[in-house]
Amino acid sequence: MGYLQLRTDPREHRQAYAAAQPFPHIVLDGLFPDALLDGVLADFPRPDDPAWSRFENPLEKKLGNYARLDETSEAIRRLLAALNGPEMLAFLEALTGIDGLIPDPYFGGGALHQIVPGGFLKVHADFNWHPKLRLDRRLNVLIYLNRGWKPEYGGALELWDRAMGGPEKTILPDFNRTVVFSTTDTSFHGHPHPLACPPTMTRKSVSLYYYSNGRPDAEKSAPHDTLFPPARQG
């Protein structure tokens, strides 16, 4: 068994992944050993660490991603390396049916994410092209690290239909909950309502993005940045 000790057979979830609405996705609880993620949580950078990238505008209020991964702990670096390694790639290919997945060694826009009380991220579709690797973005993997999270804190991940009529699914960011979903121009998601957790808490996650050399013709579009379509987002 590898370092990640992935605790489910991805082939058992492949049909459910493909059939999920409003776009292919899966929610997996307890995919990793709790102790592995507790080690990452113990070393998670504080919100006042200057290495966080910061966004504050009408579409997003968040710390974004952590910019100096070489200064993080061994536990964090080891997890990120493993999530970009062959064990995780094989798992994701078997789960999604996407062959030839390629990780991002630069962690562009990904790795550690953190949102403080009052923060939000309006519903959007992700950028579709890695300009440095020249590859198509195909998958997001979000691993939540929030122990004792309560529904009234908000911060749920919302998956919206392509007509942007509203969320078809909401997913609380509970500890050791992993969300995998396919990224296209209509895989709209976000958490548009301001975070209402206590001031001593933040919404913590690890985000990984995976790519391929090419994608199905029906999904192709010109390279673009994050898309924030107009909608009733609260």
Residue percentage of the chain with pLDDT more than 70? 98
Whole-number pLDDT of residue 14: 98
Domain assignment of residue 148, given as a range: 30-215
**Across the chain, where does the E strand assignment appear?**
25-29, 55-57, 60-62, 102-103, 111-115, 120-124, 129-130, 135-144, 157-160, 167-171, 177-182, 189-191, 203-212
Total domains, the chain: 1
* Residue 228 domain-assigned (yes or no): no
CA gap 60, 195 in Å, rounded: 12
Whole-number pLDDT of residue 232: 57
Q: What CATH number is attached to the domain comprising 191?
A: 2.60.120.620
* Residue 177 domain-assigned (yes or no): yes
* Residue 1 domain-assigned (yes or no): no
Write out pLDDT tens, residues 27-40.
999 999 999 999 99
* 3-state DSSP assignment of residue 88: helix
Mean pLDDT of 109-115: 95
Residue percentage of the chain with pLDDT more than 90? 92
* Residue 230 domain-assigned (yes or no): no
* Residue 130 domain-assigned (yes or no): yes
Whole-number pLDDT of residue 231: 61
Instruction: Give 53's pLDDT tier (boundaries 50, 70, 90).
Output: very high
* Residue 143 domain-assigned (yes or no): yes
Write out pLDDT tens, residues 131-168.
999 999 999 999 999 999 999 999 999 999 999 989 99
Q: What is the mean pLDDT of the chain?
A: 95
Mean pLDDT of 123-128: 96
Instruction: Give 230's pLDDT tier (boundaries 50, 70, 90).
Output: confident
